Amino acid sequence: MTDGERGTAGRAQAQVIAAAFRGGAELIVVRERHWEASTWRALLGDLAGARARGLRLVASRRLDLARALGLDGVHLGTDAVPVREARAWLGPSAWIGYSAHSGAEAQRAARDGASYVTLSPVFATDSKPGEPGRGCAWLADALIGLPIPALALGGITPARVAEVCAAGAWGVAAVAALGAAPDPERAAREFCTVLARARPGAEEVR
């Protein structure tokens, strides 16, 4: 997931996203909700080659831009358009993610047509100062009976991938640990390597 300069260490978003894709990340949630359509078009132009090779881009909350610009989908939350409406508007093939903070919320998103959910914060993270991580026991409870993939989010590092996968996470999501890394391509490759060991057949989603 991108998150302004915190998620890129001051580098251009396209540069960081392309590097992460080369390292194995396949889905990027672009959180820059304030961007104008022109900024999005420039990003899509810079990443046209990567998208042709399989990179998926989804917009945080911006259902209008996802449809108008032909993005791969949207990532929603409690303050956004309901999942059911987004699914009806974008169609059955769109990637629709949802930021859940409880098992009940994740189950509701799944019933309404979400493709995947993030569950957070598993560990303490700078993006939510003062909020303690909920831990892997909480994650395991939240995942019981969930019929769609769930990504562990919040303080995720390569060293923690095996732990969250053991709790039942299908994959992981990261912001600073990937985008702010000195070498985002190498960081993505490390995440993908440990994820493949922890859960064969699973796929990292950012």
| Active-site entry in 31, 62, 87, 199 | 31
**Residue 157 covered by a domain:** yes
Q: At 56, which helix (H) or strand (E)?
A: strand 56-60
- Confirm whether 5 is domain-assigned: no
Q: How far, in Å, are 145, 150, 177, 200 from residue 2 at the CA level? A: 29, 18, 11, 26
**Torsion angle, alpha carbons of 26, 27, 30, 36, to 10:** 90
pLDDT for the residue 7: 59
Q: Are strands 73-76 and 95-100 parallel, antiparallel or unpaired?
A: parallel
Is pTM, for the whole model, over 0.85? yes
Please enumerate in sequence order all residues whose Cβ is within 8 A of that of 119, keeping only pairs 6 or more positions apart, or say none: 100, 101, 106, 139, 142, 143, 150, 151, 152, 153, 169
Active-site residue, selected from the candidate residues 60, 99, 115, 127: 99
Marked catalytic residue, from 33, 102, 111, 128: 128
pLDDT by residue for the chain (206 residues), tens digit each?
787 655 576 789 999 999 999 999 999 999 998 899 999 999 999 999 999 999 999 999 999 999 999 999 999 999 899 999 999 999 999 999 999 999 999 999 999 999 999 999 999 987 777 788 999 999 999 999 999 999 999 999 999 999 999 999 999 999 989 988 999 999 999 999 999 999 765 544 44
Instruction: Evaluate whether residue 47 is within a structural domain.
Output: yes
Domain that holds residue 54: 13-198
128: in domain: yes
Q: Three-state SS for 8?
A: coil
| Whether residue 128 lies in the annotated active site | yes
Kindly state whether residue 6 falls inside one of the protein's structural domains: no
In a domain, 7, yes or no: no
Whether residue 28 contacts residue 173, with contact meaning beta carbons closer than 8 Å, is answered with no
Query: Is residue 55, in this structure, part of any structural domain at all?
Result: yes
Q: Is residue 205 part of a domain?
A: no
Kindly state the helix (H) or strand (E) to which residue 28 belongs, with its residue range.
strand 27-30
Number of domains in the chain: 1
Predicted confidence at residue 205, as pLDDT, reads 45
Is 186 considered catalytic here? Answer: no
CATH number of the domain within which 103 lies: 3.20.20.70
